[in-house]
Structure 1
Amino acid sequence: MVDYRKKDFWDVFTDIDLVFDTMGGDVQTNSFKVLKENGRLISIVSAPDENLAKEKGILAKSIWLQPNGEQLSKLGEYLATSKLRSVIGATFPLNREGIYKAHELSETHHAVGKIVIQGE
């Protein structure tokens, strides 16, 4: 884990096989720096720079999921078999203050992991 306020992730990590980009922009561009040759960058935000990918010898693609039962079933299967894991970064209570705090954290765009609102 890297504290983004103190260090840039591209100065810490090298030779990464896969980056799953959920931020886009500069985060996506700098993700190319950490991937090893023949690495993969998959984005759910925006199409990666094809020229940069070719220059670095990286497979870079974007994916878009349509809300349908088949895809949701497949994602459920991945979760059940631990092929896909969700990292919970912060949990807040289901009340006015909790909702406000969760929203404030979300608006920073620097939350690590998922923000969970938990009922009592």
Structure 2
Amino acid sequence: MSKKDKTTGEEFENFMSFAINYKVKPKKPNIKQVVKRVRKELEEIAKELNLPIENIEVVKEWCRQGGRFDDELFVNLIAPLYRPTPKYKIVWNEEAKQHVAILDNQ
């Protein structure tokens, strides 16, 4: 069977064999670069809204505009900005399988 005679399924199987053998993984962006980029986006929104970056309305607007964050970004940027210590502490929530910010009742 020539290359032209391969079905889409056969081409997919060949690709999957390659991906499995060479463990092709998408490159994960560096968290520092992501934090820098998202912080810049938040600063721009804060400027548009004429609010300090720490105002919760800024991150809400960022989310409305399509911004999304994962656990790592939450721990490194979102929680420190919008749920700062010492009032809040970041803890692992086993049920949700992610970090959450809770009031620190010392």
**TM-score, scaled relative to structure 2:** 0.25
Larger Rg: 2
Q: Which structure has more helix as a fraction of its residues?
A: 2
